[in-house]
Amino acid sequence: MYLYENSKFMRKLLLSLFFFPLLLSCQNPKKKPTKKVKYLFEKTEIEWKAKLRKMAFYVLREAGTERAFSGKYDKFYEKGTYQCAACATPLYQSKYKYDSGSGWPSFDRGEDQNIEYDVDYKLGYARTELKCNKCGGHLGHLFNDGPRLTTGKRHCINSAALHFIPPNL
């Protein structure tokens, strides 16, 4: 009887020793902690909503996309700087803007020190999301079908996320 009890105990012990690491690994799924980036310009969503135009809020704060060929800077080629429509940080220069035919303002490079490169899976696969790194506003996406003679990159940006400033202003 004693032996029987003992072996039962041993079996339980062995089983629990075997499953213990599994239990641990289930409790610690290999999920990266959601990163919370701190931005220089932070507001509540209510404050952003009050500050931004409807389409700008939809793009910048809700990571929406304006309809192709609908944005005011799609076919706009004045010389100047494009700022973030939310926090006025310089993001793109007109000299790097080109007509990609995509229906969205396209640049072969941006003001990299002010741009955050993130990843989004909204379409079920990884895309490089471009954000203003001063306020966290969504700008658009980065693609590798840009001009081959320069960077080969296409910063595909929503007009509503931008505010154009002519030189000397």
Interface residues toward Zn ion, by CB under 5 A: 84, 86-87, 89, 132, 134-135, 137
Listing DSSP states for 122-136 in one string gives TTSS-EEEEEETTT-
Active-site position among 84, 87, 135, 156: 156
Nearest approach in angstroms of CB 148 to Zn ion is 30
Nearer to Zn ion, 71 or 136 (CB): 136
Nearer to Zn ion, 132 or 160 (CB): 132
Residues 6+ apart with CB under 8 A from 87: 40, 41, 132, 134, 135, 137
State the amino acid at position 61 in one-letter form. Answer: R
Query: 3-class SS at 140?
Result: strand
Nearest approach in angstroms of CB 105 to Zn ion is 16
Cα separations in angstroms, 97 against 16, 49, 60, 132:
63, 29, 20, 17
Nearest approach in angstroms of CB 100 to Zn ion is 23
Determine the Cα–Cα distance for residues 117 and 127; give it in Å rounded to an integer: 10
Nearer to Zn ion, 43 or 147 (CB): 43
Determine the Cα–Cα distance for residues 133 and 111; give it in Å rounded to an integer: 11
Nearest approach in angstroms of CB 56 to Zn ion is 11
Residue 106: closest CA among 55, 156, 165: 156
State the amino acid at position 91 in one-letter form. Answer: L
Query: Is 26 an active-site residue?
Result: no
Nearer to Zn ion, 39 or 143 (CB): 39
Catalytic residue numbers, as ranges: 156
